[in-house]
Structure 1
Amino acid sequence: MAGIKNLKAMVRYILLIYLIVATINYSKFPILAIKCIFYSSLFQVFIGFLQILGGTPVKKFFAPKELEKTDTDLITGFSTLDKLEVDIFGTISTTIGYGFFLIVGLSLLLVLKEKLIKSRSIRYLIYTSFLICIYYCGSRVALLGAIIPIFHQLYKWDKKKSIFLIGFGSIFTLLYGFYVADPGSSNVSFWFIFSEGFVGKLELQRLGLLLFVFVPFLSDRHLLFGLGPDKDYLVGYANSNFDIPFFFPDFYLYSIKDVYWFSLIIFYGVIGFLFFIAFYFEILVGLLKRYKVSKSILNGTALVAIYLGLIMIPLNLFNQALEIRQISFYYWFLVAIVFSYTSPGSYISKSEKL
């Protein structure tokens, strides 16, 4: 059953494509759906600023709660999870999910521009607000992901000026991260990545998973077809067959999906991994073809989907972005809209503008 649950987490939103393509029949659905997504992300930016300005009391108010139970499972109340007090997270339970969702909203505004916000000055204000919240959510991975749509849009706007702006923006961000951000926060301050503590943290997390699990698996007899998507079986197999150090407990082995692309090879083998990668890039190629021929709102929707698909490639080296609903759901949702519009027998002709 555990294996089925892990498999479901990977494919649940892929099935959304087929559902939308088969059932969508309203010509205004794409723009209405996109506006709902964008304004939802804008609401999260507003909550993020409340948390920045209000500090710990506001963060505690929005922080996820967990049930307090007795030994007999009698519910006695709720307790606030304190792990989110340092960074901002909106109304989303994780800081990474929050950052990923803001990338979706930022990408939509960068591409669709006046279709979402008519005033250019207000758009620039909102761009800045998105970036501030992405930065203060504390996820360096989310900040890295936001660079892709920003750099591409700058390059499309003016190739020569974009080089200057990209360089200036990168230097400013690095200087701020090194010298202005709170040095006591391991997420916000960039100095932390050069510290001994960061190397030790990596060894107990992603680097340890690669060294102690993935590297030994490369010479394992299950390399071609994998161990299956059951993490319980993986933990038992790794402890029995690999030389796992005493300081690397089972808790970290269960986090194997934090190195997502490598975990797919372990779960499904080289053959299964290659099939999935072929499918993934087939989707991206299909989006690119539709981006070149689609009109108006669907052209922009295809480009945003391409951004999200490309963003998740590096993000999946450090996280399980493809299974985090705050980005994965919206990626597959936008893919479904684009493929529904441009598929044979679609309810909208390719020449019609929404």
Structure 2
Amino acid sequence: MTVNKLLSIGSLLTAFIVFSCSQTKDSQPEKAEATIKEEKPLNVIFMIGDGMGLPQITSSFYYKGSPSNFEQFKNIGFIKTSSKSHKVTDSAGGATAFATGSKTYNRAISVSTDTTNMPTILEKLEEKNYKTGLISLTSITHATPACFYAHVKDRDMHEDIAAQLLTSGTDFFAGGGLKYFTKRADGKDLYGDFEKAGYIMDSTSLKNGLDADKKYGFLLAEEGIPSKIDGRGDFLLDATKVALEQLSASDSGYFLMVEGSYIDWGGHAKNAEMMVTEMLDFDKTLGYVLDYVESHENTLLVVTADHETGGVAIGKSDRADSVAVYFTTDQHTAELIPVFAKGEHEDDFRGIYENNEINHKLVDALGNIK
């Protein structure tokens, strides 16, 4: 082999080595970026329409006047809602299944059938430095929100539940129930205790532009926030906007539960106007959240209900161009309840399964709280 050929081969090898090193070096930032993206905490928005079965959702398709926001979902499942004690669950039994991953008896707030405390998803996330928030139209001590932070044997133990909210570490809460903080049978000023613990409390109005490093509590009614037909306005939507802005300002990840409480009350009262207006208010808030998820990666939205209320049917009315709402009961029913998911891990929520499986699916999606 001639000297010229050896020099030529050497030049080619040198060029190949330089090119390979250059490619490896250039690809490192991409790999690093991918690793950072994978490690970023998942954000979860969990919306619960209390008493919202498929008929209630159907009403939003007929009474809204524009497409229901539920039409945006592609991944849909169904849950079986029976509790350990009853085929027909109450909100406490249903929300405990969501919050803890285990079924229990009706009226229990995140305790087992022998009244042993069961850790909640909110408590587990607090230990991982997640930001957490709760929104309800009823008292913040009511069964659905309470199951995410409290542990008592009966849902009517409102003062005990309120006291446990103080130690839960929840970063944001908004709803009613002021009297359980300020007019307590034990004489304690729990509202003041929250302020001493560093919470910024407000009992008059919802505020915007919150500090990401502070905790907030908005208790805007003695018991429940008024219903839509009693003049509530856009509290559910506004509170959700404020909460998402405050919780998402941190890079630690967040979990927000939003309850549309009075869909259930409309069913209990057999009040079609109340049920429909509450359903449309929930749909309106859902529309905002869906847009939010679309523009914020690494976020999962799950929408479902604890049970159906009223045995509702959407049927024929006296007018050929409309439908009417019919009730078969003023109580809860055992209907299968739909589950809607959007965003990261949305495929995981398809199928038919028990209500406590929603918790397991959320924990699997979060990946770091088992």
- Higher-Rg member (1/2): 2
Structure number with higher relative contact order (C-alpha < 8 Å, ≥ 6 residues apart): 2
| Pairwise TM-score range, normalised by the shorter structure | under 0.3
Task: Answer 1 or 2: which has greater strand percent.
Answer: 2
Scaled by the length of structure 2, what TM-score is found? Answer: 0.26
Higher helix share: 1
TM-score scaled by structure 1? 0.26
